[in-house]
Amino acid sequence: MPTVYITAPPESAESIAERLVEDRLAACVNRLSTSSTYRWDGEVQREDEAVLLAKTTDEAYDALVDRVREIHPYDVPCIERFDESHVLESFAGWRAENVA
Amino acid sequence: MPTVYITAPPESAESIAERLVEDRLAACVNRLSTSSTYRWDGEVQREDEAVLLAKTTDEAYDALVDRVREIHPYDVPCIERFDESHVLESFAGWRAENVA
Amino acid sequence: MPTVYITAPPESAESIAERLVEDRLAACVNRLSTSSTYRWDGEVQREDEAVLLAKTTDEAYDALVDRVREIHPYDVPCIERFDESHVLESFAGWRAENVA
């Protein structure tokens, strides 16, 4: 099952998380505070952001990515898929039930 | 080697982390604060939790999952396995030495 | 593409993140606060640390590991590679452009 790693500005992160759960594109989203260091226009920058870890299913992954692109304030958002090699069966069942 | 992703209530997270290390089921556990958005009984909910990232071995993985299920306050805890594709050799050796 | 998971003392974490981006070994590094529980000299210890998640490329991975080992204050640092199974194409392109 996929966990989707998304970064977002602190002020948008909660509404992205809520939208993904409301729209049944993720069963659960964990939001963590982060400080991001990156290169932009050739300069090293630092910015407070949030990391979202969205728990979804194979079937819903593409629709989740499309929704994030639609509502995310960045033109080039960080959206990455990591696949679990094992998930506790009852939790996997709960996830599948709560994703459309 | 597996990293196990577990979420827990803030008040239980530290004792779960300590127990896994005491019982030599993990060499190290990183605990991070998170805000979780999820669907429960059809409603979108939000709760403060902790994410635990437990560094263990192939051999100890099943026993770690059993222990978490035994001591975790939730009936359906989030327990997920992610496998590293490479680990610094000296760190992998330290991990293996500190897991039973 | 690899995400590299590194832990570091809070006072070193920001300079490690900056160095990796300055040296074009990572396009972006997310830094998160963590409390680590681990076994050292047979005793369970707890310490505040940071988790760094460095976004890099296949080609730069080995050089990134070498640089972290060179500048990291620990003899046995936690350096682990996790491979994404999918990355948004525009973000993957941005990452590749910003890594040497």
CATH code at B53? Answer: 3.30.70.120
**Taking residues A37-50, what's their average pLDDT?**
94
Any chains having at least 3 CB pairs less than 8 A from chain B are: A, C
Asked if C77 contacts C4 with a C-beta cutoff of 8 angstroms, the reply is: no
**How far apart (Å, rounded) are the C-alpha atoms in residues B94 and B69?**
26
pLDDT at B73: 98
Q: Does C53 touch chain B (CB under 8 A)?
A: no
Contact between chains at B87 and C79 (C-beta distance less than 8 A): yes
How far apart (Å, rounded) are the C-alpha atoms in residues A80 and A29? 14
| Per-residue confidence (pLDDT) for residue C47, from 0 to 100 | 98
3-state secondary structure of B23: coil
C88 touches chain B (CB under 8 A): no
Burial label for C25, CB within 10 Å (0-12, 13-18, 19+), is buried
Residue A40 has pLDDT above 90, yes or no: no
B35-86 pLDDT per residue, tens: 999 998 889 999 999 999 999 999 999 999 999 999 999 999 999 999 999 9
Which of A38, A41, A64, A74 has the highest number of chain C CBs within 10 A, making it the mutation to test binding with C?
Answer: A38
Residue found under tokens 């948008």? A12
Residue A47 — pLDDT band, cuts 50, 70, 90? very high
Would the ipTM clear 0.90, i.e. be above it? yes
Distance (Å) from the alpha carbon of A72 to chain B's nearest alpha carbon: 17
- Residue-wise pLDDT tens digits, A23-33: 999 999 999 99
Q: Is B33 on the interface with A (CB under 8 A)?
A: yes
Nearest to C33 by CA among A29, B48, B33, B12: B33
What residues make up the domain containing B40? 2-97
Number of domains, chain A: 1
pLDDT of residue C41: 84
- Report percent pLDDT > 90 for chain A: 96
Q: What are phi and psi of A97, to 5 degrees?
A: -65, -30
Q: Using the predicted structure, report yes or no on whether residue A3 has a pLDDT greater than 90.
A: yes
Q: Verify whether the Cβ–Cβ distance A31 to B32 is below 8 Å.
A: no
Which residues touch B42 (CB under 8 Å, ≥6 apart)?
none
Give the residues of chain C that fall short of pLDDT 50. none
pLDDT digits (tens, 9 = 90+) for A53-90: 999 999 999 999 999 999 999 999 999 999 999 999 99
B7-16 pLDDT per residue, tens = 999 999 999 9
Chain C partners within 8 Å of B21 (Cβ): 37-39, 44
Report chain B residues whose CB lies below 8 A from the CB of C32. 32
With beta carbons less than 8 A apart as the criterion, state whether B43 and B89 touch.
Answer: no
Q: What is the pLDDT of residue B42?
A: 85
Please name the amino acid found at residue C22: E
**CB within 8 Å: C39 and B24:** yes
Whether residue A88 lies within 8 A of chain C, CB to CB, comes out as no
